[in-house]
Amino acid sequence: MKIRAAVLHDMELPKPYAESKPLKIETVELDPPQYGEVLLKIKAAGLCHSDLSVINGSRPRPMPMALGHEAAGEVVEVGEGVTDLKPGDHVVCSFVPSCGHCLPCQEGRPALCEPGAAVNNEGTLLSGERRLHLNDAVIHHHLGVSGFAEYAVVARNSLVKVDPEIPFDKVAIFGCAVMTGVGAVVNTARIQYGSTVAVVGLGGVGLSALLGAIGAGASRVIAVDINPGKLEFAKELGATDTFDSRNSDVISLVRSATHGGVDYAFETAGAVPAMEVAYGITRRGGTTVTTGLPHPTHQFSFPQVSLTAEERTIKGSYVGSCVPARDIPRFIELYKQGRLPVERLLTDKISLEQINEGFDRLARGEASRIVVTL
Ligand SMILES: NC(=O)c1ccc[n+]([C@@H]2O[C@H](COP(=O)([O-])OP(=O)(O)OC[C@H]3O[C@@H](n4cnc5c(N)ncnc54)[C@H](O)[C@@H]3O)[C@@H](O)[C@H]2O)c1
Ligand SMILES: [Zn+2]
Ligand SMILES: [Zn+2]
C-alpha cells in the first residue's frame, strides 16, 4: 500500500531543520505484514532525542531510514502466526523488539535482547526484513517502528496492547519517554522510599524520571538542566530544588544543599558534561544511573578511587530496564489514578508536515514532548 512517511536520506544536515528539511514527507510503498508481523494505523508518535541523534549523526544508522519509534496506533491487520492481537486493538510500540529466546530475554531483560539490538542496528524488523520501499530502493526501519508515518508494519514482539480508553497522543509517550524515565527510577535504580534523587537533563525522559521519583517516594527531587524554562517547569511538576548546570559551581552547590550529594542521580541528557554533573552530585555510597545515548566516541571518565573508596555504583539503563508487556500497563494504571501525570509532558501536538520545525524545538531544548498526531 502507499503511505506517507517522514524519511531521512542524509544525516548531519545543518540547523535550522525547518530550512534544511532532513525529514522528507514522502509517499512510499509499505508491504503487507508477514509471519509474526502486524499492520498498524499510526495515530500518534512522539519526537525523542534518539530520533534527533540519527538526524544529527550522533547515532549513525543506515540510510535512508523512516524515523520515529515512540508510537501508538490501532491494529489493522495481523500476519500469520499472530493470534493474540486483532484489528481494532490499541497498541504501543516498544523500541527494542524482543525475541523471547536469547539469554537476556530468558533472564527477563528484553531491553537487552541480542537479536533485537542487531536488527535495530541494521534497520530491519525482527525478521531481518524491510517492508518499506521508495521506487526500487529499500527504506530502513527505525528501531523496528518507523512511526512518523500513516501506517507501519512491525513485529508482534515490538507491541504492547493497551487500554483503548487512553487517548493515543498520551499513550504514545509510554513507549519511550515514560518507560525509559520511570523505569530507570523503579527498575534500574529501585530507589528507596524517602531517598534523595537528582535528575540531570529535563526532556521527556528526565521529566518522566522526575515524576517516577516523586511517585516512588523520593524525599528530595532535584532537577538540573541548562535551560531555565525547564527548571521552572520541573518545579511545577514537583521538583523540590532546581539548579542550572551552566553554573560552573553546580556540583558543589548541589552537594552542599544535600549534605554531600544525593542517593541517586540520573543522567537523562545524553551528554558527557551532564554525566559528570550526575556523578559529581552522587553521595558516598550512592548510585549514578545514565539513560543518555551520546555519540559512541564520547568518553566519560572518573577517578577510579572514588568508585572504591566511596563504594559508588554507576549503572546504565536501557528502556528503563523494563519488561514492556509488564511495565507499560502498570505505568498506565498509575497515570489513570493521577499518580503519574505524564500527560503534563505533552507540550505540543503537530502534523507530519511540521516535523522538521518540531526537531528544531527539541534541539533547542524547548520541548518536553512534542507528538505528531495522524
Ligand atoms: N536509555 C534509553 O533507553 C533511552 C530512551 C530514550 C532516549 N534516550 C536518550 O536519553 C537522552 C534524553 O532524551 P530526551 O528525548 O529526553 O531528550 P531531550 O532533548 O528532550 O532533553 C534533553 C534535556 O537535557 C538538557 N541538557 C543538555 N545538556 C545538558 C547538560 N550538560 N546538563 C544538564 N542538562 C542538559 C536539555 O536542555 C534538555 O532539556 C538522549 O540521549 C536520548 O537519546 C535513551
Ligand atoms: Zn526514544
Ligand atoms: Zn531476545
C-alpha–C-alpha distance, residues 126 and 281, integer Å: 40
Give mean pLDDT, residues 228-243: 98
Residue 225 lies in a domain: yes
Query: How far away, in angstroms, is 303 Cα from ligand 1 center?
Result: 24
Residue 149 lies in a domain: yes
Q: Specify the CATH number for the domain of residue 84.
A: 3.90.180.10
Q: Which residues pair with 224 in a beta bridge?
A: 200, 243
The response to whether residue 188 sits with its C-beta less than 6 Å from ligand 1 reads no
Are 243 and 222 within 8 A, CB to CB? yes
Residue 191 lies in a domain: yes
How confident is the prediction for the chain on average, in pLDDT? 98
Residue position matching grid coordinates 535551560: 227
Residue position matching grid coordinates 505524564: 342
Q: Is residue 136 very low, low, confident or very high in pLDDT (cuts 50, 70, 90)?
A: confident
Residue 188 lies in a domain: yes
Residue 56 lies in a domain: yes
C-alpha–C-alpha distance, residues 117 and 119, integer Å: 6
Q: What is the pLDDT of residues 309-323, one digit of tens each?
A: 999 999 999 999 999
Are 120 and 145 within 8 A, CB to CB? no
Residue to probe by mutation, ligand 1, list 293, 328, 370, most atoms within 8 Å of CB: 293
Has residue 333 got a pLDDT over 90?
A: yes
| Domain match, 213 and 265 both | yes
The response to whether residue 181 sits with its C-beta less than 6 Å from ligand 1 reads no
| Domain match, 114 and 35 both | yes
The response to whether residue 347 sits with its C-beta less than 6 Å from ligand 1 reads no
**Among 372, 373, 359, 298, CA closest to 16:** 359
The response to whether residue 293 sits with its C-beta less than 6 Å from ligand 1 reads yes
Residue to probe by mutation, ligand 1, list 226, 246, 346, 360, most atoms within 8 Å of CB: 226
pLDDT of residue 141: 98
| Domain match, 162 and 190 both | no
| Domain match, 25 and 45 both | yes
Looking from the CA of residue 200, the nearest atom of ligand 1 is: 33
Has residue 263 got a pLDDT over 90?
A: yes
- DSSP codes, 29-64: EEPPP-TTEEEEEEEEEE--HHHHHHHTTSS---SS
Are 125 and 131 within 8 A, CB to CB? yes
Which helix (H) or strand (E) is 336 found in, with range? Answer: helix 324-336
- The parent domain of residue 234 ranges over 181-318
- Which three three-digit cell numbers place residue 84? 493474540
**Among 280, 287, 274, 285, CA closest to 314:** 287
| Domain match, 7 and 126 both | yes
| Domain match, 185 and 145 both | no
Query: How far away, in angstroms, is 48 Cα from ligand 2 center?
Result: 5
Q: What is the pLDDT of residues 32-64, one digit of tens each?
A: 999 999 999 999 999 999 999 999 999 999 999
Q: Specify the CATH number for the domain of residue 199.
A: 3.40.50.720
pLDDT of residue 58: 95
Residue 62 lies in a domain: yes
Give mean pLDDT, residues 242-263: 98
Residue 247 lies in a domain: yes
Has residue 107 got a pLDDT over 90?
A: yes
Contacts of 203 (CB under 8 A, 6+ apart): 49, 177, 230, 268, 269, 362, 365, 367, 368, 369
| Domain match, 198 and 115 both | no
| Domain match, 246 and 352 both | no
The response to whether residue 319 sits with its C-beta less than 6 Å from ligand 1 reads yes
pLDDT of residue 84: 98
Looking from the CA of residue 202, the nearest atom of ligand 1 is: 39
Give mean pLDDT, residues 188-200: 98
Q: Is residue 108 very low, low, confident or very high in pLDDT (cuts 50, 70, 90)?
A: very high
- Domains of the chain: total: 2
The response to whether residue 203 sits with its C-beta less than 6 Å from ligand 1 reads yes
C-alpha–C-alpha distance, residues 94 and 149, integer Å: 16
Residue 24 lies in a domain: yes
| Domain match, 13 and 130 both | yes
Give mean pLDDT, residues 11-40: 98
C-alpha–C-alpha distance, residues 47 and 366, integer Å: 12
Residue nearest to atom 25 of ligand 1 (CA): 201
**Among 215, 206, 320, 321, CA closest to 265:** 206
| Domain match, 124 and 144 both | yes
The response to whether residue 227 sits with its C-beta less than 6 Å from ligand 1 reads yes
Has residue 121 got a pLDDT over 90?
A: yes
Q: What is the pLDDT of residues 70-84, one digit of tens each?
A: 999 999 999 999 999
| Domain match, 208 and 168 both | no
Q: Is residue 370 very low, low, confident or very high in pLDDT (cuts 50, 70, 90)?
A: very high
| Domain match, 171 and 26 both | yes
Give mean pLDDT, residues 269-280: 98
